[in-house]
Amino acid sequence: MTLTASSPAVVCRNVGRAFGTNGTTRQILTDINLEVAPGEIIAIIGASGSGKSTLLRALGGLDVGCTGQVHIQDTPVAEFDPRCAIGFQEPRLMPWASVADNVALGLPDGTGKAAGKHRVDELLQLVGLEHAADHRPREISGGMAQRASLARAMARDPEILLLDEPFGALDALTRIKMQQLLLDVHAKTGTTTVMVTHDVDEALLLSDRIILLDHTPHIEGATIANIFTPPVPRPRASHDPALVSLREQLLTGLGVQPLASSKG
Ligand SMILES: Nc1ncnc2c1ncn2[C@@H]1O[C@H](COP(=O)(O)OP(=O)(O)OP(=O)(O)O)[C@@H](O)[C@H]1O
Mutate to test the pocket of ligand 1, among 53, 57, 88, 202 (most ligand atoms within 8 A of CB): 53
Percent of the chain with pLDDT over 90: 83
Range of weakest confidence among 45-54, 166-175, 193-202: 166-175
Rounded Cα distance, 55 and 63, in Å: 9
**Interval 157-169: pLDDT, tens:** 999 999 999 999 8
For the sheet containing 192-196, what is the strand order?
75-76, 67-72, 10-21, 24-36, 222-228, 209-215, 41-46, 192-196, 160-164, 84-87
The C-alpha angle 132, 136, 137, rounded to 5 degrees, equals 95
pLDDT reading at 1 higher than 60: no
* Spatial CB neighbours of 160, under 8 Å, sequence gap ≥ 6: 9, 10, 36, 59, 60, 72, 83, 84, 85, 191, 192, 193, 194
CB-CB neighbours of 70 under 10 Å: 22
Ligand 1 centroid, distance to 19 Cα (angstroms): 9
Percent of the chain with pLDDT over 70: 96
Ligand 1 centroid, distance to 54 Cα (angstroms): 6
Cβ atoms of 184 and 191 within 8 Å: the answer is no
Q: Tell me which residue has its CA closest to atom 2 in ligand 1.
A: 19
- Helices 142-154, 172-189: crossing angle, 10 deg rounding: 20
CB-CB neighbours of 169 under 10 Å: 15
> Nearest-CA neighbor of 1 among 163, 245, 241, 235?
235
Is ligand 1 within 6 A of the CB of residue 24? no
Atom of ligand 1 nearest to the CA of 198: 25
**Interval 237-263: pLDDT, tens:** 888 898 999 999 999 999 998 676 544
**What residue type is assigned to position 193 of the chain?**
T
What was the pLDDT predicted at 114?
95
> Nearest-CA neighbor of 17 among 196, 220, 195, 164?
220
**What is residue 162's three-state secondary structure?**
strand
- Give CA separation, 149 vs 44, 87, 111, 181, 206, in Å: 20, 7, 19, 13, 19
Confidence (pTM):
0.93
ipTM (interface predicted TM): 0.98
Rounded Cα distance, 23 and 115, in Å: 51
What was the pLDDT predicted at 191?
96
Question: What is the total residue count of the chain?
Answer: 264
Ligand 1 centroid, distance to 53 Cα (angstroms): 7
What was the pLDDT predicted at 3?
46
Taking residues 69-81, what's their average pLDDT?
96
- Exposure pattern of 135-154 as b/e (b: 16+ CB <10 Å)? bbbeebeebbbbbbbbbbbb
**Interval 96-128: pLDDT, tens:** 999 999 999 999 999 999 999 999 999 999 899
CB-CB neighbours of 69 under 10 Å: 12
What was the pLDDT predicted at 261?
55
The confidence band for 170, taking pLDDT boundaries of 50, 70 and 90, is confident
